[in-house]
Amino acid sequence: MATDFSWMVPIEIMLGSLNHGEVQACSISNVPDELREVNEDAYKPKQISIGPLHRGATRHLQLMEEPKWHYMRELLDRQGTTPEQNRRSEVRLRECGYDILKLDKIICASYGGSNNNILEETDPHEITKIMIVDGCFLLELLIRIGDYMDNQNPNSYNNDAILNTEEKMLSVLNDVAMLENQIPFLVLKKLYRKVFPDSSEIKDDYRVANIVRKAFGYPLVNSSGGAHILHLMHLSTVEQSQQHEGKKAKLELLRCATKLRASGVTIRAKLNSTNHNQHKLVDMFDFDISFSDSGELNIPLLYIKETTEVKWRNLIAWEQSKIWIRSKYTSYALFFNGLICCKHDIELLKERGVIVNELNKSNEDLLALFRTISKGAEQMDLSYSEICERLNVYEYKGMKVTKMVQKWPIRVWHQCRRIFEIILYYVRNWYKILMRDHIPTVWKFIGIVAAAALLVLTIMQTYYSSRNG
């Protein structure tokens, strides 16, 4: 009697994908409840569902299925640059179906972990159809967005279901950046190579990765696309270190912006090409925070746009889903969490140009964003540890004098005021007497010197008596 080992197939799939060059097991997973509970809407698509996890979850997502099919047809009908790339759309579609169906096990591994039950309950052919439709839609969408950014002519997209308004476009870009709304990047590369064949090895084909980078405003480079689009965003903004050092997430900056200013720290907005010349649709983060020995804290501009919170929260969720990823976005969020304690900190950072509130959020909404952006995170890196340590103990040299004055008893000020009033009374009388015509000039001079000496001695006596008392 043969032993049935079918139950081991999911295990074999997961193990087989661990060392795959183009795929990462469990790379598309549910966002942990600890992160989700703060702002659940930041992780649920509103316009477009990508992949099986949110497919048909709301009526609006169901209604947007039709535009996805239109985009898919446009991609399959696109003309290439060589004769072999200009095949009939029917041929392209069948080849896409043949190749994506063979990726069934890899796709299952990508949605591993808590999501495996979704794929186990769905027919492989249905999963393949979702990958083809959503993958072709994504490719066509990203190509159009890249062209839109170059064209700068909104009128040419009046009949487009998504690009006809910036509001719709930004909402879709939010959906594309969500962790639970991803498909394996290998699927996108396979689809693109069937529509536009290329003689290079798939691992050396960077065309899709650069289509994504162009659409989101990242520099075009010849490097791999990662596990999915959100992972590519992370790779495009965070330097990857082979010897990554992480630690348990905690608040490292113990002084907010107003307290830092009171300690003599000068907060300045750091301008550079990365954040100063952004396209209005581009939303990028600059982590280059620095603190000089002279007490200048330089922070690159942080633009608050329509896509900022969703992208930031989902990139943090991606960092928290893997133990080997640099948690740069998490550490950045924790730095701002320490920097902002109240609305006064928000006002100070806006005044200094550090926070650029393009969305015109209220100070209360901004405060809620910064106070909760890192809530639920469990791991961070060492990005700002040294800067925070220095900021926590920094004191401007002149602050020592101020502290000494603050420690004087209140009665010293009352004594000084009383002495000043007495001295002023006698000076006025002396002045009247000394300025009389019959008094010789030499005695006038001696009288002025004596009055000045008496004033100095009185102040010194008051100071020392207050210190001893």
Q: How large a percentage of the chain has pLDDT more than 90?
A: 58
Structure-model confidence comparison of residues 454 and 100, the more confident one: 100
Confidence of residue 95 (pLDDT cuts 50, 70, 90): very high
pLDDT for 406: 43
Q: Judge whether residue 86 has pLDDT over 90.
A: no
Per-residue pLDDT, averaged over 288-305, amounts to: 96
Confidence tier at 380 by pLDDT (50, 70, 90)? very high
Q: pTM higher than 0.95 for the full model? A: no
Rounded mean pLDDT of 329-355? 97
pLDDT tens-digit series, residues 395-414: 876 554 344 434 444 344 44
**SS in 3 state form for the chain?**
CCCCCHHHHHHHHHHHHHCCCCCCCCCCCCCCHHHHCCCHHHHCCCCCCCCCCCCCCCHHHHHCHHHHHHHHHHHHCCCCCCHHHCCCHHHHHHHHHHHHHCCHHHHHHHCCHHHHHHHHCCCHHHHHHHHHHHHHHHHHHHHHHHHHHHHCCHHHHCCCCCCCCHHHHHHHHHHHCCHHHCCCHHHHHHHHHHHCCCCCCHHHCCHHHHHHHHHHCCCCCCCCCCCCHHHHHHHHHCCCCCCCCEEECCCCCCCCHHHHHHCCCEEEEECCHHHHCCCCCCCCCCCCCEECCCCEEEEECEECCCCHHHHHHHHHHHHHHCCCCCCHHHHHHHHHHHHCCCHHHHHHHHHCCCEECCCCCCHHHHHHHHHHCCCCCCEEECCCHHHHHHHHHCCCCHHHHHHHHHHCCHHHHHHHHHHHHHHHHHHHHHHHHHCCCCCCHHHHHHHHHHHHHHHHHHHHHHHHHHHHC
Range in 186-190, 269-273, 342-346 the model is least confident about: 269-273
- Determine which of 2-6, 82-86, 276-280 has the lowest per-residue pLDDT on average: 2-6
